[in-house]
Amino acid sequence: MEKLTELIATRKVNYSEDLAVILVSLKKVELKKIVDAHGLKGCSSLNKSELIERISETLCEVNRLKNLLNTIKKESLNALKALSNSSYAALESTDPVDIENLVELGYIYPVLNQADLVFMMPKAVKEIYKSIESPLDQNKTTTSRTVRSATGKQMPIRVNKVGRNAPCPCNSGKKYKKCCGF
């Protein structure tokens, strides 16, 4: 919770759904923290505008967001779905750890709305989020060994696991462990 408080203090932005405007308003130190949170390599020598471009590209990667959504609790996904359909939301029913991860990675940003602290999702991230068919259906179902079919029978789930040294499924050309394997 202490880390979330620190993130809110340093990442608080003026309301704007334009990702570039949000990123420009952040200090270079905060941009580097977003880069580090994503595990992006080769960014230490980039200037602020190059960091912004790299972060924008990273936040718009569908597979990266899908992987993140698979780690989030259902209550948090419900709050994110509401946030993706509105300008901002309080996210009160959301797990603080999930909020912390989303703020740290740059998918949502804290905003002061009068005296209330709310969170907003940039338009580019909303579009990527909405392009994912149904994050709520994907969450946690792939981790169990069986699911119930419409008839009530338990059916096994087949999950194609990606090995750590296999090429990343996001087609970045990197190994999974150095890209989306967090």
CA distance 48 to 29: 9
Quick one: pLDDT at residue 151? 53
Q: Looking at this protein, which amino acid is placed at residue 111? A: V
CA distance 155 to 181: 28
Q: How many residues does the chain have?
A: 182
CA distance 182 to 174: 13
- Checking if the pLDDT of 17 tops 60, the result is yes
pLDDT tens figures, 116-173: 778 888 888 888 888 875 544 444 334 444 444 445 555 555 556 777 788 877 777 8
- Checking if the pLDDT of 63 tops 80, the result is yes
